[in-house]
Each structure stands twice: as C-alpha cells, then as structure tokens.
Amino acid sequence: MQSVRDFYRELAQGRLMLAFQPVVWLPDSSRVLYHEGLLRHIDAQGGEVYPLALLEKHQLMRELDHSVVRCVIDALQRDERLRLGCNISAQSAIIDGFWLPILQVLRDFPSVAARLVIEITESATPPSIEAASEFVLCLRELGCRVAIDDFGAGLGTLEFIRQTRPDIVKIDKGYIQRARGELNSAQTLSHLVQLCKTLAPCVIIEGVESAADQNLATACGGEWGQGYLFGRPQVDRLGWRCRLEQRTPPLCALDQA
C-alpha cells in the first residue's frame, strides 16, 4: 500500500502528466483519428508509471480516472482543434457522484463531448455489465465515443462488448507481436479483426512498430493503427503540457484499505 500512497501523493503534487500518442489511418498515417493520453511522471523519459494493477486490486482507480478525464476535458476546452482520448479502468465504468460534475460539463459543452474518446481497459472487471452499459449509453448520448482498450488481453468478454456496443475496439498489441513470425497467429489476428468489425464501427490495431507491422495489420484487414511507428507518447506533442490535478485526495480511503 505504500507505493499506492506514494502514487496519490505525487498526483496531489501535480507530478503526473499525460503523454499523447496518435491513432492513425493505416493507408495514410497523416490522417489522425485522435490522440490518446497516457500516464507519465513529470520527470520520466520512458514508459508508463506506477502501480496501476495495485490501484485496481484495492479498488482505488476512480480518483485517478476522474483526474485523467478532467485533464483531457480541460485540454479540449482550451483548443477546439483537438480530438483526445484517455483510459479509465472498467472499475470506474459506473455512474456515481464523482462522475456527475464531469457529465454536466459534457452536457453543457457538446462540442467538447464530440471530441472526447473514453477508453475502457480490460484489466479489471466492471462493477456489473448492466452498470457499465448504462455508463456507456450515457456517454454516447452526450456525444462522446467509447472504446474498449486492449481487447483480448484482459478480463473482458464478448458479452460485455455486445451489451455496451462501443464505438471503437482496440486490439491488444500482443496479437500483432505474435503475428510477426507465426502464420497461425497472423490468421488469428485477421479473424479477430473481422470479429471486432461486427462489434464496433471502428477497429484499431495496437502495437504497430514498423513498416512491416503496418503492412501486416493492413493485410489482416486493419484500417486504423497505433504504435511507435506513428509516434511515441510525448508530453508536449500538442504544444502544451497536460498536468493532472487531484481534487479529491483518497488518503483516508488508503488508510482504511
């Protein structure tokens, strides 16, 4: 729990930021669907930060998720040219008191909602499929798009996707990594892409790191991709820095966990 406490202290101190990575059209990577915000430490040069698995284990993701979404909404309000996305845990996919102020902002500013993508990760199960379906429906009615992130790598089920009917399904990078050298895995990726196209209007293949990956993703039926080939996550990619703020410190909840 000490690492979790340290994490939220750093969040409260404004030492966490979002780095943005583009999601692009595979035939022409200059066409960007949106930029996804990924969590980084203000001093970090490399990958993702901190014990997100522990936060989910102790049911402490909601405060972080709300901070991330607020940060992205603030950025969208500052610049009407932006289209941004961000991750939230499936644990947070439930309408509660924390979400009400955010939903009100989206209701008041429909142009912001129309440029926001909420990506629900599969690393944890939602409180219930019914609650998650209500959450997704509410966001979509406000004009947001909803994505299922890292599909095929976590605890999500086809039934969850069928009921929530997301706008976007993002296929976990592990599938293209395995497909690079295995014919069977390439066929699996191709079948998965076709399945996902029956579940959502937009399918994104994650983990595209080279021109060969791009060709492979296209050959498997992919139309949209994300990965280092198109750009590494950058905290200042969009001309400014998106620093997270924590407005509801959960330290008392941590002490009780």
Domain assignment present for residue 254? The answer is: no
Q: Domain containing 77 — which CATH number?
A: 3.20.20.450
Question: Is 219 contained in some domain?
Answer: yes
Residue with the larger pLDDT of the pair 199 and 98: 199
Q: How far apart are CA 167 and CA 176, in angstroms?
A: 22
253 within domain boundaries: no
pLDDT at residue 251 above 50?
A: no
Q: Is residue 251 part of a domain?
A: no
Check: CB of residue 125 under 8 Å from CB of residue 94: no
| pLDDT at residue 256, rounded to an integer | 46
- Angle of CA points 236, 124, 180, to nearest 5°: 65
What is the domain count for the chain? 1
Residue 3 lies in a domain: yes
Quick: pLDDT tens for 159-208.
788 888 899 999 999 999 999 989 999 999 999 999 999 999 999 999 99
- Does the residue 257 lie in any domain? no
Rounded to two decimals, the pTM is: 0.89
Does residue 199 form part of some domain?
yes
- Give the pLDDT confidence of 107-126 residue by residue, as tens digits: 999 999 999 999 998 766 77
**Residue 43 confidence class, pLDDT cut points 50, 70, 90:** low
Q: What is the pLDDT of residue 17?
A: 87
3-state secondary structure of 39: strand
Owning domain of residue 180: 1-243
Q: Rounded to 5 degrees, what are φ and ψ at 244?
A: -80, 150
Residue pair 16/243 in contact (Cβ under 8 Å)? The answer is: yes
Per-range mean pLDDT, top range of 54-63, 110-119, 124-133, 241-250: 110-119
Q: Is residue 256 part of a domain?
A: no
